[in-house]
Amino acid sequence: MDIDIRLARIDDRLIHGQVATAWSKQTGINRIIVVSDEVAEDELRKFLLKEASPLGIRSNIISVSRMIDVYRSGLLREEKVMLLFTNPSEVVTLVKAGISLTSVNIGGMRFTEGKKMITNFVSVDDKDVEAFLYLANQGIELEIRKVPSNPKIYLVELLGKEKFKKLV
């Protein structure tokens, strides 16, 4: 029941200019799915995200469990999809449920209390690092790029394998 997932991206801004222009063109998608329990409950945020979607690209904002159901149903078999997440823990839940990913792009995770900046636009806490470590151990590439033209920065290399383990 595989769907054509062209990009899985963690960016707490979700649908914004970079997604709407560069990433959607680069990946040739026809649907954006925001996978977030928190956002799926917020009607105003859902409305605003749908409004921000690029012309001609359908968008859905759904919970993690709903994404698992949709994946298993085969409803998206004909779609070219971009999955957007606010954090890596939701990606882990999908991977543990059998959704196959080869790479996860990290576009932005804002700095908040208790997080450590690892680039000027990516900050992580212990829970994030634990989730990223799980994904890396599944053989999933974890690369940081704001836009497709930026060079890939590999998250595990950036943190350093020893440092990465110590943070968990």
Name the nearest CA neighbour of 109 among 125, 127, 121: 121
Of 13, 16, 66, 145, the active-site residue reads 16
Q: How far apart are CA 88 and CA 77, in angstroms?
A: 24
Burial tier of 71 (Cβ tally within 10 Å: 0-12, 13-18, 19+): buried
* Segment (H or E) for 155: helix 155-159
- Note if 124 is an active site residue: no
Contact of 56 with 24, CB cutoff 8 Å = no
Cα four-point dihedral sign 121, 16, 79, 65: positive
Can you give the C-alpha Rg of the chain in angstroms? 15
What amino acid positions are annotated as catalytic residues?
Answer: 16
